[in-house]
Amino acid sequence: MTRICMSLALLGIVLFTIGTAGASAAAAPAEAAAAAPELTDPGAPAEAIAHWRGLRFGMFIHWGPVALTGHEIGWSRGRETPIKEYDQLYKRFNPTDFNADEWVATAKAAGMKYMVITTKHHDGFCLWPSDVTDYDIGGSPFGRDVLKELSAACRKGGIEFGTYYSVCDWHHPAFPRGSPGGRTKKPTADLDAYDKYLRAQVKELVTRYGPLLVLWFDVPQVYTEDYGIPMVRMLRGLQPNIIVNNRAYAAAGRKKGFSHQTQVGDYTTPEQRVGGFDRDRPWETCMTICRQWAWKPNDTLKSLEQCIQILVRTAGGDGNLLLNVGPTADGRIEKRQIDRLKQIGDWLGTYGESIYGTRGGPFKPGPFGASTCKANRVYLHVLAWPGGEVRLPPLPRKVTAAGVLGGGKAEVDQTDEGLVVHVPESDRKDIDTIVTLDLDGPALAIEPVAWSSGSLATGAKATASNVFAKQAREYGPAKAVDDDQTTRWATDAGTREAWMQVDLGKPTAIGRAVIDEATRFGGGRVRKFRLEVRNGKDWEPVLEGTTIGRNFEKTFGPVTARHVRLTILEAVEGPTIWEFQLFAK
Ligand code: FHN
């Protein structure tokens, strides 16, 4: 795979240099790239990507002296903790309970196949004895090379080792931005000097602790592609099969956050959310098992159901999941996190064939759940049974057999109109009932089919009284009527009342509503709501309630109306809705 990653400025420089080639200022990037190959990132070999995809599930680790404070790594420097105090923490950092083999055993027990640790976060502290700084583990009472021990334990334990490296460095005098939050400008900024430092450090990571599965860069801020592409090329020269994520540098013309950059690196990195279905561009969701990346006392721990659903919906979208733990200052992963991870591992011990080595689809994720596939088999992960059955779009292949992974009976009615899947309640599993559909041909060859709820509101023009950070493209009300379980309408923090409404285009008979409230943020936030319809100028209520939660379903009326509004009358925090669906009955 070859990517043409080039800012127009660079393109101009290249073309100016070429000159004699008479290349026009708008030379096709391919020509310019051919003329200046050092300005393109060749990408990782396809087989490396396929191998990484097959692993599906990894452990993310955010750790450093900041664990002594219980605040967030990097971000709390100059915020909860004064900069001078933060930068001295390492002199008290002595995690004598750190045992790399135990961490690897925890990851393996969770069914995780790879591990990525923050070798240096935005605070600049290095968990290895670097030759180019004293602000590292060598200067702490602990003194041991954490990366050496962890990479060796991973190899011994049979899981793959990767390194997170923050491009921004709010401690280093030459990086132009500083704490708090990367919002200050350093008078000593010198990006050329910092690039030299960064290259020396990532070279240490690859040559001392490699081969690495991945170099997981983060938050490049002002480190642009003219530095980043040559640096990534250097990396790939050191280890040709290394995989690089999409945050190694800030691409020219970047519109959204670094996690969205699709023209950078080998894969995209949706964060704290399950990415959308995409079989073309590799992607990996990174998510905390609690709420904070670094260790936080009494942090909210995700339930097993949440963790399994996140894993299933990620794999169903053809993505990997990197689930994060934050070890304590004495070097332990909290027991409650170890226990949760073990539960996930036990689930994978029974159902892992439906995750590892699979691809997403052919049914795109929906309210029913998601699907993965391998050879001629489709794994239908049914996370909810709206109406007691699962109705799916038609498949071009014949279902030759059906069953339930782990035991049970599944009946599948297949017609040209679609599939209807039934599993007796007694055979349904907790959290995820995995129905196996054996086909008369390869499942991956089937064009992915979008699941349709059949909701009369799907795709309708939607408006709202409030949208989170005014980011309608990401969190507007249209995201609650798109049949996509990975997108939602969200409102600003502190919003206690809000409404969203849909225009059905013409008077329409409706009699049933399904509302799926996003509850991964510690439960449902709605305490009182009303459903109203309008034909003329007045709104009339058709349904009132208190809490909504996951897949709330209620019949009413029926009524005929063109405009329908969900009014949240009382919420404990900004309400956020995955899907708002309306049906005739
Ligand atoms: O600022 C960091 C954050 O602390 C954490 O490391 C995440 C992990 O993906 N990355 C950045 C936020 O996007």
Q: What is the mean pLDDT of residues 226-241?
A: 97
Residues 226 and 11: beta-carbon distance below 8 Å: no
**Alpha carbon of 198 to ligand 1 centroid (Å):** 18
Decide whether 361-445 matches 461-583 in CATH topology.
no
**DSSP string for 348-397:** HHHHGGGTTT-EE-SBPPBTTEEEEEETTEEEEEE---GGGSEEE---SS
Task: Specify the ligand 1 atom closest to the Cα of 72.
Answer: 4
* Smallest CA separation from ligand 1 atom 10, residue: 218
**DSSP string for 160-217:** EEEEEEES--SSSTTSSEETTTT-EE-TT--HHHHHHHHHHHHHHHHHHH-S-SEEEE
Query: Which sequence spans correspond to the domains of the chain?
Result: 6-354, 361-445, 461-583
The pLDDT of residue 262: 84
Task: Specify the ligand 1 atom closest to the Cα of 60.
Answer: 8
Per-residue pLDDT tens for 274-310? 998 999 999 999 999 999 999 999 999 999 999 999 9
Please report where in the chains the tokens 């897949």 appear, as a residue: 551
pLDDT confidence band for 233 (50 / 70 / 90): very high
Q: Is the CB of 229 under 6 A from ligand 1?
A: no
Strands laid side by side in the 214-218 sheet: 243-244, 214-218, 160-166, 114-120, 57-61, 320-325, 284-288
pTM to 2 decimal places: 0.83
The pLDDT of residue 2: 40
User: CA–CA separation, 8 vs 522, rounded Å?
Assistant: 45
Q: What is the rounded average pLDDT for all residues in the chain?
A: 92
Q: Is the CB of 286 under 6 A from ligand 1?
A: yes
User: What architecture is the 6-354 domain classified under in CATH?
Assistant: Alpha-Beta Barrel (3.20)
**Alpha carbon of 376 to ligand 1 centroid (Å):** 38
Q: Examine the pLDDT at 14 and tell me if it is beyond 60.
A: no
Task: Specify the ligand 1 atom closest to the Cα of 257.
Answer: 13
Residue 161: strand pairing partners: 115
Site to substitute for ligand 1 among 118, 183, 219, most atoms within 8 A of C-beta: 219
Residues 352 and 111: beta-carbon distance below 8 Å: yes
A 10 A CB-CB count for 565 gives 19
Task: Specify the ligand 1 atom closest to the Cα of 121.
Answer: 6
The pLDDT of residue 33: 56
Q: What is the mean pLDDT of residues 192-208?
A: 98
**C-alpha dist (Å) from residue 96 to 296, 322, 405, 552, 577:** 19, 26, 43, 49, 45
- Among candidate residues 59, 63, 52, the one with its CA nearest the CA of residue 110: 59
**Alpha carbon of 86 to ligand 1 centroid (Å):** 18
**C-alpha dist (Å) from residue 285 to 154, 357, 468:** 22, 17, 21
Both tokens assigned to 303: 């339930």
* Smallest CA separation from ligand 1 atom 12, residue: 219
Q: What is the mean pLDDT of residues 23-46?
A: 64
* Smallest CA separation from ligand 1 atom 3, residue: 293
Q: Is the CB of 284 under 6 A from ligand 1?
A: no
**Alpha carbon of 397 to ligand 1 centroid (Å):** 42
Q: Examine the pLDDT at 202 and tell me if it is beyond 60.
A: yes
Q: What is the mean pLDDT of residues 94-102?
A: 98
Residue 323: strand pairing partners: 59, 287
**Alpha carbon of 135 to ligand 1 centroid (Å):** 21
Per-residue pLDDT tens for 438-468? 999 999 999 998 777 889 999 999 999 999 9
The pLDDT of residue 484: 81
pLDDT confidence band for 520 (50 / 70 / 90): low
**Alpha carbon of 572 to ligand 1 centroid (Å):** 27
pLDDT confidence band for 31 (50 / 70 / 90): low
Q: Three-state SS across 137-151?
A: HHHCCCCCCHHHHHH
The one-letter amino acid code at 564 reads V
The pLDDT of residue 111: 98
User: CA–CA separation, 288 vs 272, rounded Å?
Assistant: 7
Q: Examine the pLDDT at 15 and tell me if it is beyond 50.
A: no
Q: Examine the pLDDT at 273 and tell me if it is beyond 70.
A: yes
Task: Specify the ligand 1 atom closest to the Cα of 294.
Answer: 4
Per-residue pLDDT tens for 349-383? 999 999 999 999 999 988 789 999 999 999 999 99
User: What architecture is the 361-445 domain classified under in CATH?
Assistant: Sandwich (2.60)
**Alpha carbon of 324 to ligand 1 centroid (Å):** 11
**Alpha carbon of 259 to ligand 1 centroid (Å):** 9
List Cβ<8 Å contacts ≥24 apart for 188-195.
191/222, 191/223, 191/227, 194/169, 194/223, 195/223, 195/227, 195/231
- Among candidate residues 375, 364, 368, 388, the one with its CA nearest the CA of residue 315: 364
User: What architecture is the 461-583 domain classified under in CATH?
Assistant: Sandwich (2.60)
**Alpha carbon of 218 to ligand 1 centroid (Å):** 7
Residue 220: strand pairing partners: none
Strand-pair category, 461-464 with 489-490: unpaired
Q: Examine the pLDDT at 340 and tell me if it is beyond 70.
A: yes
Q: Is the CB of 219 under 6 A from ligand 1?
A: yes
pLDDT confidence band for 17 (50 / 70 / 90): very low
Strand, helix or coil for residue 460: coil
The one-letter amino acid code at 431 reads I
The answer to which of 6-20, 103-117, 118-132, 530-544 has the lowest mean pLDDT is 6-20
Both tokens assigned to 23: 């290349």
